[in-house]
Amino acid sequence: MKRPITMVLALLLLAACLPLTAAVAAAEPADTPDQASPAENGDQAAEPSAAPPENTPDDLEPTQTPEPTQTPGPTQTPEPTAPAGQAVQLRIDDANVYEGMDRAWKDGYVPQVADGKVTLVLPLVANGAIWADRITVTPALGDASGSPVQVKNYQKTFTLADNPVNVTGEEGETVQTVPSYLVRFDLPLRSDRKNGTYPIVLDVQATDDSGGQILQSFTCYVTITDGKKESTSTPVYGGGGVAPTETPVSDPRVLVSKYEVSAAPVMAGEDFTVTVTLKNTSEESAVQNMLVTVTEESQNLVLKNDTSTIFLGDLKAGGTTQLELKYGTDRETPAQRYAIHLAMEFDDEDAMSMSSSGSVTVEVAQPVEVELAPFTMPGEISAGETVQLSFQVMNLGRTEIYNVRVELDVPGLSPNGNAFIGNMEAGTAASQTLNVFAGMKEGDERYGWTSGVARLVYEDASGREYTQEVNANTNIKELVIAAKDTAEEQAEEEKEQKQALQWWVFVAAGGAVVAALAVTLALRRRRASAPQHVQK
Across the chain, mean pLDDT equals 78
- Please report which confidence band the pLDDT of residue 14 belongs to, taking 50, 70 and 90 as the band edges: low
Q: What is the mean pLDDT of residues 427-452?
A: 90
Contact present, 107 and 95 (Cβ < 8 Å): no
Percent of the chain with pLDDT over 90: 41
Distances (CA, A) of 236 to 241, 249, 486: 10, 21, 127
Q: What is the mean pLDDT of residues 41-47?
A: 39
CA proximity to 367, closest of 337, 333, 326: 333
Q: What's the pLDDT at 197?
A: 86
Question: What's the 3-state SS for 346-360?
Answer: EECCCCCEEEEEEEE
- Please report which confidence band the pLDDT of residue 226 belongs to, taking 50, 70 and 90 as the band edges: confident
| Common-topology check for domains 251-366 and 370-477 | yes
What is the model's pTM? 0.41
282 secondary structure, DSSP code? -
CATH topology of domain 370-477: Immunoglobulin-like (2.60.40)
Q: Decide which of 307 and 245 is more confident.
A: 307
Residue range 86-168+176-227 forms a domain whose CATH class is: mainly beta
Sequence ranges of the domains in the chain: 86-168+176-227, 251-366, 370-477
Distances (CA, A) of 174 to 169, 182, 241, 247: 10, 20, 63, 46
**What three-state secondary structure class fits 123?**
strand
Q: What's the pLDDT at 257?
A: 92
How many angstroms separate the CA atoms of 295 and 340, rounded? 6
Worst-scoring range by mean pLDDT, 351-360, 400-409, 438-447, 454-463?
Answer: 438-447
Does the 251-366 domain belong in CATH 2.60.40.10? yes
Is the pLDDT reported for residue 78 higher than 60? no
Q: What is the mean pLDDT of residues 411-431?
A: 93
- Amino acid (one-letter) located at 446: R
Q: What's the pLDDT at 28?
A: 46
The strand pair at 353-365 and 266-267 is best described as parallel
Q: Decide which of 428 and 80 is more confident.
A: 428
Worst-scoring range by mean pLDDT, 19-33, 279-293, 300-314, 469-483?
Answer: 19-33
* Residue 370 neighbours by CB distance under 10 Å: 17
Q: What's the pLDDT at 33?
A: 38
- Please report which confidence band the pLDDT of residue 221 belongs to, taking 50, 70 and 90 as the band edges: confident
Q: What's the pLDDT at 464?
A: 85
Is the pLDDT reported for residue 208 higher than 50? yes
Percent of the chain with pLDDT over 70: 70
